[in-house]
Every structure is written in structure tokens, then in C-alpha cells.
Amino acid sequence: MIDVNELRNGVTFEHDGSLYKVIEYQHNKPGRGKATIRTRVRDLRTGSVLEKTFISGDRVQDVRLDYRVAQYLYKDDDAYHFMDTESYEQPALREETLGDVVNYLTEGLEVKLTFFEGEALDIELPTAVDLEVVQAEMGVKGDTATGANKQVVTETGLKVQVPLFVEQGDTIRVDTRNGEYLTRA
């Protein structure tokens, strides 16, 4: 058991029979009374995002997770298939479970798979991925006193704000934590 004051972004815990991963965490201490901990969590089995509020002093069950390096293979109807690089097993995760992570998955990308009691639940992406630009507006120099940006669409469907010099066919590096352009690769 862990105290809810120890919950932070990325922490996984069990509550009411479900596994949750903290997406956002906010500690609120009013003038009187106990502090409240407001969290936005994602159910790792269903993929649904919920708001959970705890009172300071509450406890939740911590879980032991296993991690394995895997390679993204392909997507079929509603599942994304990965291959464990050591055992060559091929677990699949549903699109609802992965959420926005699917915007960064390219064939052959190495990720870290999260397992709980032998069940694949989640993936952890590298901090940056390289994506090819498949659609870009024309960058027109105009009255820009500061750096101007335009929106492009990558091979995975992710829309990213980039500088005007990025064109269709370029490969760009994108930060997977916030979806921002880093550099041209």
C-alpha cells in the first residue's frame, strides 16, 4: 500500500479492482481540513480516462510491473502488434488502451512494454521519434518579425507545428511527451 501523497505522473496503482496510471496530479491544501489529491488517471485495461479525488491519508495498492523491450510490428483492425525482442512473443494492445501514443508508432520502433502478471497493458515511448512529413502547406515569407510556424501532417496522422522551411518529404524529430517539433532529422 502506498499513500496517495506519493502519487505522481506516470505512477501505476490498483484501486477498486482496476489498474490506473496517473496522467495528471494536483495536490490541493485548503486553509482548513485535510488536503485533497486530484488525479486524472487512465484505466490500463479499458483505456478510459477518469478523474479520481483522494483525501490526504488515503492509501492505494501499489503494483509490481515488469518491463520488456519490444518492437512495433503492425496494426490490424483495432489492435497494435509488438514483438518482444528477447522471447519473440507477439503481444497485441487495443487502440483504446494506447490512446494518443498511436500517433508516434512507426514500423520497427523500439518501445518498452509494461506487463502486469503476464498481461501486456501499456507502452513507454522513447522521448523523441522521427516521423516523415506527408502533407505540408507552402511556407510563405511575409511580415514575420519572429519565427513563423505552419502545421504539417506526419505519416502517422499527427499534426505538428513546424518552422516554415519544413517541406513535404522531410523527416522531423518530434518530442513524444508533448508532441512538439524538435528538429529536422
Residue type, 81: H
Tell me whether strands 66-75 and 36-43 are parallel, antiparallel or unpaired. unpaired
Q: Which CATH superfamily is domain 66-124 in?
A: Nucleic acid-binding proteins (2.40.50.140)
The domain ranges of the chain are 2-62, 66-124, 128-184
Q: What is the pLDDT of residue 171?
A: 92
User: For residues 103 and 100, what is the distance between their CA atoms, to the nearest angstrom?
Assistant: 6
177: helix, coil or strand? coil
C-beta separation of 27 from 37 below 8 A? yes
How many residues are given for the chain? 185
Starting at the earlier edge strand, list the strands of the sheet with 149-154.
Answer: 159-163, 149-154, 128-136, 171-175, 181-184
| Fold equal for 66-124 and 128-184 | yes
| Predicted confidence (pLDDT) per residue in 64-117, tens digit | 889 999 999 999 988 899 999 999 999 998 888 888 888 999 999 999 998 888
User: Cell 515488469 appears where?
Assistant: 66
- The proportion of the chain whose per-residue pLDDT surpasses 90, expressed as a percent, equals 28
| Predicted TM-score (pTM) of this structure | 0.76
β-bridge mates for residue 169, sequence order: none
Which three cell numbers mark 94? 487495443
User: For residues 42 and 50, what is the distance between their CA atoms, to the nearest angstrom?
Assistant: 6
**Second-level CATH architecture of 2-62:** Roll (2.30)
Residue 136: C-alpha distances to residues 112, 121, 152, 164, 171 (Å): 31, 35, 5, 9, 12
Q: What is the pLDDT of residue 146?
A: 66
**Second-level CATH architecture of 128-184:** Beta Barrel (2.40)
Strands (E), 98-170: 110-116, 119-124, 128-136, 149-154, 159-163
Which three cell numbers mark 47? 483505456
